[in-house]
Each structure stands twice: as C-alpha cells, then as structure tokens.
Amino acid sequence: MLEASAAPTLSLEHTLLGLHHLPLVVGMDEVGRGALAGPVTVGAVAVGWGTNQPPAGLQDSKLLSAKRRAAMFPLIDSWALAWSVGHASADEIDSYGIIGGLRLAGHRALDKLASLCGPVHQVILDGSHDWLSGPGLPREMQPNAEKPCAVQADEMQPNASVAGHLALPVSVTTQVKADMTCASVAAASVMAKLSRDAIMDELSREYPHYQWDHNKGYGTAAHRAAIGSYGPSDFHRRTWKLT
C-alpha cells in the first residue's frame, strides 16, 4: 500500500523567490537513475509568486498509483508556469556515467523550460547532492544534441522547441525529501515519471520479453533472467551489472 504523507507546499519556493528577488524558481527531480535499461529522465516545473496553491492530491510520484499520476498530469499542466522533461539515453549513461547522464538530462530539461518561461536562475533539487552543476558539458553533450531514447512521449511534452538559451550559472538549492515537501519538485517527479513510463511502455511492445511495461527497466528477477536468456538490448546500460 502506498504511504500517505503531508501535502507538499510552496514554502521553500517562496523563500527563494523573496531571498533572490526572482520571478520564478524551478523544482527538478529525476527518475530512472537505478534502472538497468532505458533513459534517465529529469522533470522541471517552474512556479512564481502568482502560482496558486498546489493541486489537491499532489505527492511525490512514488507515493501515487499509476492511475493517480495520470490524473495529476492535466492539473500540473494547468497549475505550473511551465514544465519540461529531459532525457539521457542508456548509451549516453554508458559514455558519461550516471551523474553525467543526470546532468545532461537536467540541462536539456532546463533548456526546454527556458524557451517557455525565460531564463532560469534558481533550481531546487531533491536530495543532498547537486548533480546538476559541474564542469561545462562537452560539445556532444550539449542540450540540443539530444540523442533519441526511442519514444519521446510527445503527448506529454510542452508545445515548444528547444531554443538553446539556458541562462547559466544556475543557483542550486538541495533539499532532502524535497519531492515530499516542495510542490514544484513533487510535480517535477510526477511529470518525469509519466514521461519515462510512457517511453518504457512503448519500448516494451518491441521487446516484450524484458517486461518493461511492468518493471520500467529496473532490475527485477524476471528482467535479469530475460537478459540472461536473450542478452542485453540496445536500450540496456551495458556498462552496468545486468545479470
């Protein structure tokens, strides 16, 4: 059974907006970090002073059933100033490591978001580790060079092109359990989860023996057994221990 928790608020977001005199702040969260197959996906949700109280029922995506997450999509879409998702493929994770993949997916998400709502200067990340900041991305890792990770779940993408005008540097605030306490981060986790699940469901039609529509690429016993029987696919993270 999914465990209930207190509803996330905009308290930290308002603190940062006032402290830095900003028009907006962006909550970010990732899904797929520990999976054996598929992309790592980062969601980004922008809120401002005029953003209403969070939609009723908003929680970290892990606390919501698949049905509730789907029901939250239109509520978050109409509530947020803007939102976006970015992906890094299994091949990119193999090439740059999981932190490099997270950074790449995060920069892609922010680049898309900047095309919707303007420069982003303040981000809230869930956890205690700032995986977004770091050395400049090499040319092949630039946001506009995104490699396809099969399906981009167009029906869940905001209607905007990637403009490539991300404003850096971005100030990053880390907050342990922000996905449970900060509304923008909780919303980002839901959008990221919906987008990545749609990708894995679509891939599962082509590779049904891995059961990605059920395990979403994570290392269940059945998934590992299928890798042992059929070998890894092009969407597996081949530098990882798969069996």
Q: Report the pLDDT value the prediction gives residue 166, as an integer from 0 to 100.
A: 44
Q: Enter the pTM of the model.
A: 0.88
d(CA 47, CA 34): 28
For residues 176-196, give the mean pLDDT: 97
Instruction: Give the per-residue pLDDT at 20.
Output: 87
Mean pLDDT, the chain, whole residue set: 88
Segment 83-99, tens digit of pLDDT: 999 999 999 999 999 99
Q: How confident is the model at residue 139 (pLDDT cuts 50, 70, 90)?
A: low
Q: Report phi then psi at 59, rounded to 5.
A: -145, 170
- The amino acid present at 197, given as its one-letter code, is D
* pLDDT value of position 151: 43
Secondary structure class of 83 (helix, strand, coil): strand
Q: Where does the pLDDT of residue 136 fall: very low under 50, low under 70, confident under 90, or very high at 90 and above?
A: low
Query: What pLDDT is stored for residue 65 in this prediction?
Result: 95
Cα–Cα distance measured from residue 21 to residue 157, given in angstroms and rounded to the nearest whole number: 29
Q: Where are the domains of the chain?
A: 11-206
pLDDT of residue 170: 85
188 pLDDT higher than 80 = yes
Q: Strands 25-31 and 40-47, how do they pair?
A: antiparallel
DSSP at 148: P
C-alpha 97 chain-centroid distance: 17
For residues 142 and 70, is the Cβ–Cβ distance under 8 A? no
111 pLDDT above the threshold of 90: yes
Answer with the residue of higher pLDDT: 221 or 165. Answer: 221
pLDDT at res. 6: 84
pLDDT for the residue 165:
38
In this structure, whether the domain defined by 11-206 belongs to CATH 3.20.20.70 is answered with no
Section 53-77 average pLDDT? 95
